[in-house]
Structure 1
Amino acid sequence: MDKAARRKGLFLVTTGALFWGISGTVSKRLFQQAAIDVNWLVTTRLLIAGILLLTVHFLAKDRSQIIGVWKNRRSAIQLIVFGLVGMLSVQYTYMASIQHGNAAVATLLQYLAPVMIIIYLILRRQMTLTLKDLVSVLLAAAGCFFLLTNGSVSGISVPPTAIVWGILSGIALAFYTLYAVPLLKQYDSLVIVGWAMIIGGLGLSLIHPPWQMDFRSLSIGTYLYLIFVILFGTMLAFWFYIESLQSLTPKETSLLSSIEPLAAVITTVFWLKEPFGLFQWLGTACIIGLILVLAWSKKPRIS
């Protein structure tokens, strides 16, 4: 493979992961300082990012797929389910966990999704339990314990609401990952994710329309944060990740995407000045260790 293409892939995946991680912390700042409603933020970022992704596909790839996905009744139904149950659930639960807790804990809990997928496939007898799977589950359990309790069994150092939303975010991401496979085999990922974002955004618009916002009350700094979350943390982050797969293996992209929770933790602690105890750092190390173990593992044996 061309070295220049590989360097480009490495740059894209690491940059995308950094955008993802930092955008969670920026979202927390929006909730704290600008009192931005989580429903409005999720609705707005999904709609704008979805439109941008479809625009990129229209300009650069096979534009017939944008409408073609709706001509097949089965794929159209799957896309609607993916948009509402997959995309919207992932985005909303993650943001809700950030709002009630912090970006570091929300991101780390969301990264339990690979373990949930392993457990699901084992229960469905679609893969066999290996030593690496067992290590993964133990790292996840230890990471969650230290992260949420800071080493003390007498109390939880993270608000229970944030924990519930964070765990739901991991479940939603697991569903998102598994359910998307058939659609991505038929259509370009930009089309599927672009439409899923728009569907999810339209669904949440019924609860909180994006135009119900006093835009004149927002400061220039708030607008800049919103642009970062929507453009860099949603649209560009996903696009860069997908494009990196053109020159890197899925294992490499998964490994390098472990920068996301690390970025979320560092920016939460040093920028937002959120308290993070010694045992919570140990929990962070366990979760990142889990990601690395899964990234280096061979593909699961599907029967």
Structure 2
Amino acid sequence: MNKPTKTTGFLLVIIGATCWGVGGTVSQRLFQEHAVEVDWLVTVRLLIAGLLLLLVQSLKKGSAEVFAVWKNKKAGTQLVIFGLLGMLAVQYTYMASIHHGNAAVATLLQYLAPVMIIIYLLVRRLTVLTGKDTITAVLALTGCFFLLTNGSLSALAVPAPAVIWGVLSGAALAFYTLYAVPLLKQFNSLVVVGWAMIIGGGALSFIHPPWQIDIAAFTPEMYAYLFFIVIFGTMIAFWFYIESLQSLAPQETSLLGSLEPLSAVFTMVLWLGEPFGGLQWFGTVCIIGMTFLLAFSNKTSLPEEKNVKKSRQAG
């Protein structure tokens, strides 16, 4: 198969990043307007999207490659850990943050993950602190302060549970990114993430079986939202983003990936009519500025840093 052109790569990452951000807002609508439970949505989203990703890989490369990971005992164990503590943790904490707050805050707080990874690498002495790293961390922390407080120290602009779940989402994404490195070196990313989704969704099924819901109460609008979340907000978002890496440099995909929080913010404000204060917009600009600096970093990316970009659309 021919390598995609750079133009195709740009289109893929733009569509993928936008779908992920809008998917968060659609999830918020399901939580607020239709009282859909977080556990149920995460379970269904993971199981269906995971099966579809494996189906895509099977059609592209054959079923043998899809099941090869289970022939290696060590890799299989790593995949189970990755599915539970990585994939499931990222998905659940992100959705819980949306449920208690809104899609914009949840998406933006996930962008603390690169800063957390920098701190981890510094502690492990796998990198050195640069001026750009310092500026990036300051931008992220400043942005979060204004995003969450709107400039007021007396109260948070979003509920405390949303903040807690959002920060946990960033931490889960950092773990997800770093832990996935050895698996991604051995197996195709669609295989790794597809199985991780099934493992995470399967585990959550024991807590909230996906079939225990009153399907008869679903409206056509709810089905449409669910379809968008699973197909576009999960499967297409991840698949297109990964495909774009075949023809774009990592800094290009990272820069265009900033459309995720942008699309979440704008759809939340324009579609859901959520209020967003002036200083919260300033916080948004700071955090998006952080992603721009990360995108244009001059130092050579470590394997862990490169996989921040690969892993972002599965959370």
TM-score calculated relative to the size of structure 2: 0.94
Q: CA deviation at 1:300?
A: 4.4
Q: CA deviation at 1:153?
A: 1.3
Match of 1:120 in 2: 120
1:97–1:106 contact (8 Å) kept in structure 2: yes
Q: CA deviation at 1:98?
A: 0.1
Distance 1:52 1:235 in 2: 7
Q: Report the CA distance shift for 1:3/1:68 in structure 2 as closer, same or farther (over 3 A).
A: closer
Q: Which amino acid aligns with 2:90?
A: V
Residues 60-106 of structure 1 deviation map (CA, whole Å, 9 limit, x = unaligned) = 12432211100101000000000000000000000000000000000
Distance 1:181 1:5 in 2: 27
- Please state whether the residue corresponding to 1:275 is helix, strand or coil: coil
2:87–2:197 contact (8 Å) kept in structure 1: yes
Match of 2:21 in 1: 21
**1:199 lines up with 2:199 in the alignment:** yes
Q: Report the CA distance shift for 1:61/1:4 in structure 2 as closer, same or farther (over 3 A).
A: closer
- Please state whether the residue corresponding to 2:88 is helix, strand or coil: helix
Q: Which ranges in structure 2 are unaligned for 5 or more consecutive residues? A: 304-315
TM-score calculated relative to the size of structure 1: 0.97
Match of 1:87 in 2: 87
Distance 2:300 2:273 in 1: 39
Distance 1:92 1:282 in 2: 28
Q: CA deviation at 1:4?
A: 6.8
**1:239 lines up with 2:257 in the alignment:** no
Q: Report the CA distance shift for 1:59/1:35 in structure 2 as closer, same or farther (over 3 A).
A: same
Distance 1:123 1:209 in 2: 40
**Aligned residue pairs, count:** 301
**1:153 lines up with 2:153 in the alignment:** yes
Q: Report the CA distance shift for 1:169/1:258 in structure 2 as closer, same or farther (over 3 A).
A: same
Task: Give the alignment's Cα RMSD to 1 decimal.
Answer: 1.3
Distance 1:245 1:61 in 2: 18
Q: CA deviation at 1:299?
A: 2.9
Distance 2:264 2:186 in 1: 34
Pairs within 5 Å for 1:24-173: 24-173=24-173
Distance 1:233 1:167 in 2: 21
Distance 2:18 2:212 in 1: 31
Distance 1:29 1:137 in 2: 32
Distance 1:155 1:140 in 2: 20
Distance 2:99 2:288 in 1: 22
Pairs within 5 Å for 1:174-213: 174-213=174-213
Distance 1:256 1:193 in 2: 22
Match of 1:263 in 2: 263
- Please state whether the residue corresponding to 2:125 is helix, strand or coil: coil
- Please state whether the residue corresponding to 2:5 is helix, strand or coil: helix
Q: Which ranges in structure 1 are unaligned for 5 or more consecutive residues? A: none
Runs of at least 4 residues off by over 6 Å: none
Residues 241-291 of structure 1 deviation map (CA, whole Å, 9 limit, x = unaligned) = 111011111211111100000000001111111111000000000000001
Residues 113-162 of structure 1 deviation map (CA, whole Å, 9 limit, x = unaligned) = 00000001001111000000000110011001100000111211110000
Q: Which amino acid aligns with 1:299?
A: T
Distance 2:302 2:216 in 1: 55
Distance 1:236 1:258 in 2: 17
Q: CA deviation at 1:205?
A: 0.3
Q: Which amino acid aligns with 2:194?
A: G
Match of 2:300 in 1: 299
Q: Which amino acid aligns with 1:254?
A: S
Distance 1:4 1:74 in 2: 34
Q: CA deviation at 1:186?
A: 0.3
1:39–1:204 contact (8 Å) kept in structure 2: yes
**1:221 lines up with 2:231 in the alignment:** no
Q: Report the CA distance shift for 1:3/1:41 in structure 2 as closer, same or farther (over 3 A).
A: closer
Q: Report the CA distance shift for 1:56/1:301 in structure 2 as closer, same or farther (over 3 A).
A: closer
Q: CA deviation at 1:301?
A: 6.3
Distance 2:76 2:302 in 1: 30
